Amino acid sequence: GALLVGRPWSNGGDSINASPPPFQFVLVAPQASSVALVGDFNDWDPARAPMQTAQGVWATTVPLAPGRYRYAFLVNGVEWRADPAAPRAHDDEFGAPSSVITVGGTGL
């Protein structure tokens, strides 16, 4: 299973020029030897968001500006997994399972 933390982690400031807040993505995959987060936000490049594990719970944070993003977990470099805790993306042009996250703007 997976858990998507739907609120951003506090970046400690509200500066106009502040970078987008980081969102945490989590996947429970105790048998995995590697997991990467891939999506629209990182050009589906597994090298850009490798996940760290603690006893089979994999996690990473990614800064996300307001918008709609498709994403998936790449397990062991070959298995694409949608996030079971998030809506499935219905417009996936590649045929692999993926999920969608919508990030609201300021004040949402």
Q: Which residues pair with 81 in a beta bridge?
A: 73
Residue 44, both tokens? 């589906």
Distance between CA atoms of 104 and 88, rounded to whole angstroms? Answer: 18
Cα 42 to chain centroid, rounded:
10
Q: Cα-Cα-Cα-Cα dihedral of 84, 1, 23, 34, to 10°?
A: -120
Max distance between CA atoms of the chain, in angstroms, equals 42
pLDDT in tens, 10-21: 444 444 556 788
Q: Cα-Cα-Cα-Cα dihedral of 70, 73, 79, 83, to 10°?
A: -80
Closest CA to 6 of 19, 34, 25: 25
Tell if the pTM clears 0.85, that is, is over it: no
pLDDT in tens, 27-67: 999 999 999 999 999 999 999 999 999 999 999 999 999 99
